[in-house]
Amino acid sequence: MNAAAPPPPALWIRALSRLPFALLYALTASISLLLRYVMRQRVGIARTNLRRCFPSKSAAEIESLIRAYYRHLGQVAAECLKMATLPAHEMRLRLRFTNSELLSAETDAGRSVLLLGSHLANWEWALQAVTLALSVPVDAAYKPLHAAGADRELVKLRARFGARMVAAKKLLRVVARQRQAVHAIALMADQMPASSGGRQWLTFLGCDTAFYPGPGEIGHMTGYAAFFVAMRRLARGYYELTLQPIAAAGERLAPEIFTARYAQLLEAQIRAQPAFWLWSHRRWKSARPAEPLAPARPAPH
């Protein structure tokens, strides 16, 4: 793990974090119900996304998924608060890796690794699991929040066990600077790309979907072994993580193939546990651009 100890989260966050799990779950469940039924926070977005991706499900099945989804968000919020004070040994008990030896085989051989996560199950705890499982530094890309104070506190939580948080727009520079050091690069790759430049379009969950090209480009540039970190919820507050290979060390896949492999692995995980992905994100707010028309051939004389 990384040697530098990050500053502790704010006092009020640590105070909430010391509440028993049951009380925290009850508190965040109340907030989740308020968001779901009173404020209607992004409920329409979640419903539209679920209908788009699961057209064969009935209206009742979609509403059941929405209820489970908001209940799950409340639990993730409670678990995120718990990161402020939860000891490393208890975090390890709650996060079980099925095949972490794949990581140690790479790092013990002096090779860095590339880890791709997603907003599935508890993505905040997934980073903690990776950081605690590795004996090398973890550089984790993230998108800073607009509110500077909230961003500082979230970074403190995420970095508590030693992850080095890197603003996504600075990640390539960090990767280039760390090329000679054994480390892990961790990033999410399942949200809508912010800009249209270089988007890769795939059929994902039955929909035309844009993906970030960056992870595939980093994989091609570095040749690091790359893994999708699949996360499955076992029970409230307990998760199982499994590393699914995307590329072997030195394989240097074309970025398009790399991204397609990631998308395929992610889709399988979402279909297996559909209530636990981040459905309230505007994932499909952009339409796939039309293919340019081929130039007309001159008629034969």
Alpha-carbon distance of 105 to 112, in angstroms, equals 10
Dist. CA 186–CA 215, nearest whole Å: 10
Binned at pLDDT 50, 70 and 90, residue 293 comes out as: low
pLDDT at residue 298, rounded to an integer:
60
- Three-class secondary structure assignment of the chain: CCCCCCCCCCHHHHHHHCCCHHHHHHHHHHHHHHHHHHCCCCHHHHHHHHHHHCCCCCHHHHHHHHHHHHHHHHHHHHHHHHCCCCCHHHHHHHEEECCCHHHHHHHHCCCCEEEEECCECCHHHHHHHHHHHCCCCEEEEECCCCCHHHHHHHHHHHCCCCCEEEEHHHHHHHHHHCCCCCCEEEEECCCCCCCCCCCEEEEECCEEEEECCHHHHHHHHHCCEEEEEEEEEEECCEEEEEEEEEECCCCCCCHHHHHHHHHHHHHHHHHHCHHHECCCCCCCCCCCCCCCCCCCCCCCC
Q: Is the pLDDT of residue 70 over 80?
A: yes
Q: What is the pLDDT of residues 158-203, one digit of tens each?
A: 999 999 999 988 998 999 898 889 999 999 999 888 765 678 999 9
- Specify the range with the lowest mean pLDDT, choosing from 91-95, 96-100, 170-174, 251-255: 170-174
User: Predicted confidence band at 2 (pLDDT cuts at 50, 70, 90)?
Assistant: very low
Distance CA 219, CA 11 (A): 40
This prediction's pTM: 0.91
Do 244 and 264 touch, CB atoms closer than 8 A?
no
Q: Strand pairing partners for 251?
A: none
Confidence of residue 1 (pLDDT cuts 50, 70, 90): very low
